[in-house]
Amino acid sequence: MKERSLKFLFNPAILILIISCIFIQCNLSNPQTKLEKIKTQLIKKDDIFAGRFPEYTEDGEWIFSGKPNWFAGFTGGELWYMYEMTGDETMKTRAIKHADQLIPLATLDDTHDMGFIFLPTCVKTFQISKDEKYRQAGIRAAGMLAKRFNKKGKFIRAWGKLGTPAREGLMLIDTMMNLELLFWAAEETGNREFYEIAKTHAITAMNEIVRVNGSSYHVIEWDPQTGDLINKRTHQGYKDESTWARGQAWGIYGFANTYQRTRDKRFLDTSIKMADYFLSFLPEDFVPYWDLDLVGEDVLRDASAGAIAASGMFLLAELVETEELKEKYLDYAVKITVSLMENYLFTESIRETEDGILLHCIYNFNKNRAVDESYPAGDFYFIEAVRKLWDTNKLLVGQL
């Protein structure tokens, strides 16, 4: 009976109908057309990547890097989500190619972003295919991330090549999203050290990055030799004491992930506190300004921060302890996702060339990179939120 049910679910025609019903229920116009547009644009994006590493769009066209970056795993992850929503086997084939391409990068020693790179690709591919080579790649990547742990400061070093002093004492809110790779590796291997490093880093972030009111810093700088705190500042936000919207979204999602893995209620409370702060600054269309301390018609939005927060709140809604809170965070997750689909999805009428999927994102305002453009993290977390919107409404299957 179970096998028959799964075959039913993975019938592409049935899945499109299910998704259409969900989006119509959420007051989303032309849902099937929008999903097909996303799929078509994703295929186009995958075709032009051709083994290169995308960074962001400039006037709608992708800029590429000659070396791997923290975005390297996102397109493969988008393809997996599209496969799950449509059952299209070509999406699966494309996603596996991305995982194969990234296996040799599992020993990267200059970044904390191993979770961003390997969770959507090798780990996801292992979970679906059970092929051991992808499991081993994920475990090696987790090992490299664990090597970045500073025992004096009790944090995971964000940037810089291992064994070098440059930026050795920097800790970022972003790392909260990479901890999931360590938790996964701990479960797979039984190596408790992975778990302890992830949890310890999360405690440090909770105590030092998150302010009392639920807002957050972007960067904490430590003396790497003594573990003494040097300062708290921003790298991509408006100013040191403001709240960078994407960083706040990383915190919402990352602390929810950490609570799910540890069941330490302090992390759930932190995610809730950060979500409530984020929601209190949302404009009418539920998509945040790029820094939460900035408001006004002339302030740019960051759709990517909205997508990350929405996906995090879908998870948070599953974890909270009361129906009232569940309804609250699920309602906002749906509202943000639907707004992104209605108002921030690419359209051919904006300009002649548009290679991105989610528009009006800001990668790095201070360095003028992808300001009001697209970049891979925005696309990935947008499609992930759309996937969760579908997943949340599985009950509609029984209504067809």
Express each pLDDT in 280-336 by its tens digit.
Answer: 999 999 999 999 999 888 999 999 999 999 999 999 999 999 999 999 999 999 999
Cβ distance 370 to 56 under 8 Å?
A: yes
- Provide mean pLDDT across the span 147-166: 97
Three-state SS letters, 342-376: HHCECCCCCCCCCCCCECCEEEECCCCEEEEECCH
- Using 50, 70 and 90 to split pLDDT, how confident is the model at 49? confident
Question: What's the rounded Cα separation, in Å, for the pair 291 and 215?
Answer: 11
Q: Which residues, including other chains, have CB under 8 Å from residue 253's CB and lie 6 or more apart?
A: 176, 177, 271, 308, 309, 311, 312, 315
Question: What's the rounded Cα separation, in Å, for the pair 121 and 138?
Answer: 9
Catalytic-residue membership of 113? yes
- Using 50, 70 and 90 to split pLDDT, how confident is the model at 4? very low
The pTM of the full predicted model, rounded to 2 decimals, is 0.92
Question: What's the rounded Cα separation, in Å, for the pair 269 and 275?
Answer: 10
Question: What's the rounded Cα separation, in Å, for the pair 91 and 82?
Answer: 7
- Using 50, 70 and 90 to split pLDDT, how confident is the model at 25? low
Cβ distance 98 to 83 under 8 Å?
A: no
- Is the pLDDT confidence value at 22 over 60? no
> Higher-confidence residue: 49 or 26?
49
117 half-sphere exposure, CB direction, 13 A CA radius: 28
Express each pLDDT in 135-149 by its tens digit.
Answer: 999 999 999 999 999
Q: Phi first, then psi: what are they for 159, rounded to 5°? A: -120, 165
Token readout for 72 is 């390297």
SS3 193: helix
Question: What's the rounded Cα separation, in Å, for the pair 216 and 121?
Answer: 29
CATH number where 392 lies: 1.50.10.10
Which pLDDT value is given to residue 3?
Answer: 37
Across the chain, mean pLDDT equals: 91
- Is the pLDDT confidence value at 391 over 90? no
- Using 50, 70 and 90 to split pLDDT, how confident is the model at 347? confident
- Using 50, 70 and 90 to split pLDDT, how confident is the model at 64? very high
- Provide mean pLDDT across the span 118-124: 98
CA atoms 132, 376, 72, 181: torsion sign: negative
**Considering 113, 291, 302, 355, which one is annotated as catalytic?**
113
Which pLDDT value is given to residue 272?
Answer: 98
Backbone dihedral region for residue 85 (phi beyond 0: left; psi -120 to 50: alpha; all else: beta): alpha
Question: What's the rounded Cα separation, in Å, for the pair 312 and 273?
Answer: 13
Written as one letter, the residue type at 25 is: Q
Which pLDDT value is given to residue 291?
Answer: 98
Determine how many CB atoms are found less than 10 A away from the CB of residue 128. Answer: 16
Which of 16-25, 56-65, 219-228, 380-389 has the least mean pLDDT? 16-25
Question: What's the rounded Cα separation, in Å, for the pair 54 and 50?
Answer: 10
- Provide mean pLDDT across the span 221-226: 98
Which of 255-264, 339-348, 361-370 has the least mean pLDDT? 339-348
Catalytic-residue membership of 379? no
Which pLDDT value is given to residue 188?
Answer: 98
- Is the pLDDT confidence value at 260 over 80? yes
Token readout for 266 is 């302090």
Question: What's the rounded Cα separation, in Å, for the pair 59 and 51?
Answer: 22
- Using 50, 70 and 90 to split pLDDT, how confident is the model at 28? low
> Domain of 167?
2-399
- Provide mean pLDDT across the span 183-197: 98
Written as one letter, the residue type at 231 is: N
Give the chain's domain count: 1
